[in-house]
Structure 1
Amino acid sequence: MFFDLPSHADLYQALLDRDDRYDGQVYVCVATTGVFCRLTCPARKPKPENCTFFATIGECIEAGYRACKRCHPLAPAADADPAIATLLAALDDRPDIRWSERHIIQMGFDLSTVRRSFKRQFGMTFLDMARQRRLREGFETLASGDNVIAAQHDASFDSPQAFRSAFARLMGCPPSALKAGGLLRVDWIPTTLGDMIAVSSASHLHLLEFVDRKALPRELARLRDFAKGDLGLGRYAPTDQIQSELAAFFNGASATFSTPMAMHGTAFTKDVWHALLTIPAGSTRSYSEIARDMGRPSATRAVARANGANQIAIAIPCHRVLGVNGALTGYGGGLWRKQKLQDIEHHYRPKSERLPA
């Protein structure tokens, strides 16, 4: 885990010094650029609050970061496996291709061998990597103010319609429904557990969800209705603030979230979310305990539903709620993420309460 690495301050100093003792052992992910680098990278150094450090390339890719084109952090892994080297080079050289299994076979590779190699090195398949890169590049093109045609080309989709369909599956609406600016603005945040979508107004954070959450399109649709259609691409200050606080959370610096949050729900649902905010980092509660503490001991199922309806992940810590027997249950971002969050929060417990990791 990350917390077995040297401290964030020590690693940041190593980044400033371009200390080659860490080359191949630690990588830095930069929240403001979405890129991960070697610590010896010659690029301009980011601010410390925008840096998260990982011991493996796979963790960086899983968190949604792209490899730096200056220091080429994928090169050692590629050198270790000719198939990986060839496919990564092809991915960079042919951004116009919509990669499929057919292309891999045409290049003379066995599908199962390639799948195992990429999963072993990076924690995802080659096709997963290619799809993630395409859709993210299209989203970023739209956010910069370009049109759907430009986004389609940058994302290497065969047609504007294909890009619109992929975008709509993620966002719950076609690209044309999200203009630049807006009362509420949508932006993309890379994190250590995968990319997230944030929606903010000028004063509050309204949504923070992982991009693969099934409920995300419905949640965005509700916010679009709330804003009377004025939902656009871009960001306000609350998105910058939550991105910085997420980076601090994942690098072990702070479990405090002070970004102003707008809660969209019934009075009971909001009461549950406020109860979640009282659970200290590193601690857990059961649904029945929350119901009892709220003075509603028979409302366990209602508490569970309200917990599942939370649309500001991590900052409103629904991941701290477990089943009555301590089992991981009901997390929209995936139970594997809930377990990862439990592992991370072990770091924030008082030392006297920590169990062996």
Structure 2
Amino acid sequence: MLVTNQKDVDKYYKALLAKDEQFIGIFYVGVKTTGIFCISTCRARKPKRENVEFYTEARELLQHGYRPCKVCKPTEQAHQPPPEVRLLLQMVKENPKQRIQDYQIRQQGLAPEKIRRWFKKHHGITFQTYQRMIRINTAFQELQSGKSVTHSAFDAGYESLSGFNYTFKKMLGKSPEDTKDKSVILMTRLTTPLGPMYACATAEGVCLLEFTDRRMLETEFRDLQKRLNATILAGENDHLRQLKAEVEEYFAGTRQAFTVALHTPGTEFQQKVWQVLHDIPYGTTSSYQRQAERLAMPQAVRAVASANGHNRISIIIPCHRVIGKNNQLTGYGGGLERKKWLIEHERKNALCQV
């Protein structure tokens, strides 16, 4: 749909100038003078305000004759990693113990420097560090099942026990022999129409689902590791694979309720608030006041709002469905534009099911 509201147009143009990640998937901008279209984070030279128009769907720009920008690749980057990164991720997934070096990346016709930049920007680590996390995670799971340190070290591609022990302790905080009481939180990256998300899970269930640009993300990671006596490592388990499938169905409009298991450490009060959040029906909204009343604590509005803010599992525990008493949008860790999109997405698909 063409965006005609001037306040929205002004807001989107400012987001374009600021390369604001919170607007990925919220709008696509067509440049009339060049005939190309971009996403909000495009690095190309910015067009003048009078030379652009904004749409909510990429296909609409294609239908109007616009071509995808070769810099930001809006039909790819808004939803998933570029093809060269997907290839390497698949290689790691198929053989987690394999160590892919720069010369092997070049043999695939890829540039290691470009891969490093992408991983640093989207994961905060290099591709080589990502691989080490996968190998150490695999070794940790083998140790937990009774495999010897020596066998785990050499199977993970390490040429010496000292190198393995050093890396293991650096990532897990303990030596291989001292990890019996240590657990692991597995973390993976999801692609969605609203931008990338991080998902974490323990053996019990999903414990985090957040957009990668959430400001409190590092604090949430530290809190989870402390509460669960665990270390976050890159990897997947059955809970994360189920989550990916259900999130994809949610954004496609075919899923209204999630069935994936959750692991939500928190205080007794937070657990009660999150349950009330979870009970807000799909396609509807509530308020902090109504949440407090449902808890039989009508004076605890601020405490309820604080507990909502500590929810680590967005979308599934739907804090985006909470708005102000005056029906105005209130704070949301993923950004108000995403909150607006999610509410409208659910309302539209709820009506389609009637």
Superposition TM-score, scaled by structure 1 size: 0.58
For residue 209 of structure 2, what is the amino acid of its counterpart?
Answer: L
Equivalent position SS for 1:270 = helix
The question of whether the paired residues in 2 share the 8 Å contact of 1:329 and 1:335 is answered with: yes
For residue 225 of structure 1, what is the amino acid of its counterpart?
Answer: K
Tell me: CA distance 1:274–1:156, structure 2 relative to 1, closer, same or farther (3 Å).
same
Alignment: residue pair count: 258
Partner of 1:258: 259
Partner of 1:187: 188
Q: 2:46 aligns with which of 102, 109, 112?
A: 112
> How many angstroms apart in 2 are the aligned matches of 1:215 and 1:189?
18
> How many angstroms apart in 2 are the aligned matches of 1:135 and 1:228?
36
For residue 200 of structure 1, what is the amino acid of its counterpart?
Answer: A
Tell me: CA distance 1:167–1:113, structure 2 relative to 1, closer, same or farther (3 Å).
closer
Q: Does 1:137 align with 2:85?
A: yes
Q: CA deviation at 1:288?
A: 0.7
For residue 289 of structure 1, what is the amino acid of its counterpart?
Answer: R
Aligned-residue sequence identity (percent) comes to 28
For residue 332 of structure 2, what is the amino acid of its counterpart?
Answer: Y
For residue 256 of structure 2, what is the amino acid of its counterpart?
Answer: A
Q: 1:1-357 counterparts in 2 under 5 A?
A: 62=24, 111-113=45-47, 133=81, 137=85, 140=89, 144=93, 145=96, 150=102, 157=113, 166=121, 169=124, 175=130, 178-180=133-135, 181=137, 183-349=184-350
For residue 271 of structure 1, what is the amino acid of its counterpart?
Answer: K
> How many angstroms apart in 2 are the aligned matches of 1:287 and 1:118?
37
Partner of 1:38: none
The question of whether the paired residues in 2 share the 8 Å contact of 1:84 and 1:118 is answered with: no
Tell me: CA distance 1:199–1:142, structure 2 relative to 1, closer, same or farther (3 Å).
farther
For residue 205 of structure 1, what is the amino acid of its counterpart?
Answer: V
Q: CA deviation at 1:190?
A: 1.3
For residue 304 of structure 1, what is the amino acid of its counterpart?
Answer: A
**Deviations 1:70-110, CA, capped at 9 Å, x for gaps:** xxxxxxx99x987859x9xxxxxxxxxxxx96xx6xxxxxx
> How many angstroms apart in 2 are the aligned matches of 1:197 and 1:337?
16
Q: CA deviation at 1:273?
A: 0.4
The question of whether the paired residues in 2 share the 8 Å contact of 1:170 and 1:216 is answered with: no
**Deviations 1:212-245, CA, capped at 9 Å, x for gaps:** 1112222122233345453221211111212222
Q: CA deviation at 1:113?
A: 3.6
The question of whether the paired residues in 2 share the 8 Å contact of 1:84 and 1:114 is answered with: no
Q: CA deviation at 1:192?
A: 2.2
For residue 112 of structure 1, what is the amino acid of its counterpart?
Answer: K
> How many angstroms apart in 2 are the aligned matches of 1:274 and 1:300?
16
For residue 319 of structure 1, what is the amino acid of its counterpart?
Answer: H
Equivalent position SS for 1:112 = coil
> How many angstroms apart in 2 are the aligned matches of 1:112 and 1:304?
39
Equivalent position SS for 2:273 = helix
> How many angstroms apart in 2 are the aligned matches of 1:156 and 1:274?
46
Equivalent position SS for 1:188 = strand
> How many angstroms apart in 1 are the aligned matches of 2:294 and 2:225?
34
The structure with the larger Rg is: 2
Equivalent position SS for 1:230 = strand
The question of whether the paired residues in 2 share the 8 Å contact of 1:198 and 1:207 is answered with: yes
The question of whether the paired residues in 2 share the 8 Å contact of 1:184 and 1:200 is answered with: yes
Moved more, 311-320 or 248-257: 248-257
Tell me: CA distance 1:188–1:118, structure 2 relative to 1, closer, same or farther (3 Å).
farther
Q: CA deviation at 1:202?
A: 2.9
Tell me: CA distance 1:344–1:119, structure 2 relative to 1, closer, same or farther (3 Å).
closer
> How many angstroms apart in 1 are the aligned matches of 2:351 and 2:122?
43
Q: CA deviation at 1:147?
A: 5.9
Q: CA deviation at 1:349?
A: 3.7
Q: CA deviation at 1:344?
A: 1.0
> How many angstroms apart in 2 are the aligned matches of 1:135 and 1:178?
22
Tell me: CA distance 1:339–1:215, structure 2 relative to 1, closer, same or farther (3 Å).
same
For residue 346 of structure 2, what is the amino acid of its counterpart?
Answer: E
Moved more, 183-192 or 319-328: 183-192
> How many angstroms apart in 1 are the aligned matches of 2:301 and 2:340?
22
Tell me: CA distance 1:305–1:246, structure 2 relative to 1, closer, same or farther (3 Å).
same
For residue 257 of structure 1, what is the amino acid of its counterpart?
Answer: F
Q: CA deviation at 1:326?
A: 0.7
The question of whether the paired residues in 2 share the 8 Å contact of 1:319 and 1:331 is answered with: yes
The question of whether the paired residues in 2 share the 8 Å contact of 1:169 and 1:217 is answered with: no
Equivalent position SS for 2:208 = strand
Q: CA deviation at 1:319?
A: 0.8
Q: CA deviation at 1:282?
A: 1.1
The question of whether the paired residues in 1 share the 8 Å contact of 2:185 and 2:230 is answered with: no
For residue 332 of structure 1, what is the amino acid of its counterpart?
Answer: G
Q: CA deviation at 1:267?
A: 1.1
Tell me: CA distance 1:315–1:157, structure 2 relative to 1, closer, same or farther (3 Å).
same
Q: CA deviation at 1:304?
A: 0.8
Superposition TM-score, scaled by structure 2 size: 0.58
Q: Which runs of 5+ in 2 are unaligned?
A: 2-22, 62-67, 142-183
For residue 295 of structure 1, what is the amino acid of its counterpart?
Answer: A
Q: CA deviation at 1:136?
A: 9.4
Calculate the aligned-residue CA RMSD, in Å.
4.6
For residue 210 of structure 1, what is the amino acid of its counterpart?
Answer: F
